[in-house]
C-alpha cells in the first residue's frame, strides 16, 4: 500500500486548509479538532469561559500558520503539533490577560498561571496523548453506533461503566454468553475504527 493511499484523507484535508477560501475544509477541521483542543485546555485547569476563548485563539493561529505547515509522519503526530500550539496560546493568553487584572484578583490569577506553567505545560505531550485517546474513542463510537443494533449498544455502554457480565445479562434479559459475544464484536469494530481514525486524523 502506497503512502498516498495509506492516509489520503488527512493529507487531502491539510492540503485543502492551505486555501483560506475553502470554508468547507475549515468546517470539517473545526468539527474534528475543536473539542480535542477545548478538552485539552480544560484539562490544564482553566475555566470553561477562558478555555473557549483560548480554543478559538488556537484555531485562529492554525488558520494563520497552516499554509506553512508540512505534514511529516516521521516528525510526530498532527495532534502533537496542535498541542504545542495550544500550549503556546495558553502562555500568551495568561501573560496578556494578567496586565488587565488588578488587586487581589491579580495575585490569585498570577499564582494560578505560575502553577499551570510549572506543573501542567511541561507535561503537555502526556496530557495531549491522554486527551487524544478519549477524543478518538468518542469519535469512533459516534461513527459506528448507528450500525450496531440497540442490545449491542447497551452491552457496550454497560461494559464501559464496568458493570459485570452477569449483571448486564440480568438487566438486558440475555445470556452471559451473548454478553461476551456482543462485547467482543463491538470492541473489534471499535478497534478497527480507532485505528482508521488515528491514521486519518492523528
> Which CATH number fits the domain 3-125, given the four candidates 1.10.1740.10, 1.10.150.20, 1.25.40.10, 3.40.50.2300?
1.10.1740.10
Which range is most confident: 49-63, 78-92, 179-193?
179-193
Span 13-28, mean pLDDT? 77
Span 191-197, mean pLDDT? 92
Span 49-57, mean pLDDT? 92
> Which CATH number fits the domain 148-202, given the four candidates 1.10.10, 3.30.160, 2.60.40, 1.10.3470?
1.10.10
Residue 79 C-beta-side C-alpha neighbours within 13 Å: 28
Dihedrals phi, psi of 201, to nearest 5 degrees: -120, -15
Q: Which of 38, 12, 8 is nearest to 25 (CA)?
A: 12
Please tell me the pTM assigned to this model.
0.73
Amino acid at each position: 500500500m502506497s503512502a498516498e493511499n495509506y492516509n489520503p484523507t488527512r493529507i487531502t484535508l491539510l492540503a485543502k486548509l492551505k486555501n483560506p477560501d475553502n470554508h468547507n475544509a475549515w468546517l470539517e477541521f473545526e468539527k474534528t479538532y475543536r473539542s480535542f483542543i477545548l478538552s485539552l485546555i480544560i484539562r490544564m485547569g482553566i475555566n470553561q469561559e477562558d478555555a473557549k476563548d483560548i480554543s478559538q485563539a488556537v484555531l485562529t493561529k492554525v488558520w494563520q500558520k497552516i499554509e506553512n505547515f508540512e505534514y511529516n509522519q516521521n516528525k510526530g503526530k498532527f495532534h502533537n503539533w496542535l498541542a504545542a500550539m495550544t500550549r503556546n496560546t495558553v502562555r500568551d493568553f495568561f501573560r496578556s490577560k494578567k496586565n488587565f487584572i488588578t488587586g487581589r484578583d491579580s495575585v490569585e490569577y498570577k499564582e494560578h498561571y505560575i502553577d499551570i506553567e510549572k506543573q501542567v505545560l511541561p507535561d503537555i505531550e502526556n496530557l495531549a496523548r491522554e486527551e487524544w485517546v478519549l477524543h478518538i474513542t468518542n469519535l469512533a463510537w459516534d461513527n459506528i453506533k448507528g450500525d450496531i443494533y440497540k442490545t449491542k449498544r447497551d452491552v457496550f455502554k454497560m461494559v464501559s461503566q464496568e458493570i459485570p457480565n452477569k449483571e448486564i445479562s440480568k438487566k438486558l434479559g440475555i445470556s452471559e454468553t451473548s454478553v461476551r459475544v456482543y462485547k467482543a464484536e463491538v470492541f473489534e469494530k471499535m478497534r478497527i475504527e480507532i485505528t482508521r481514525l488515528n491514521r486519518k486524523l492523528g
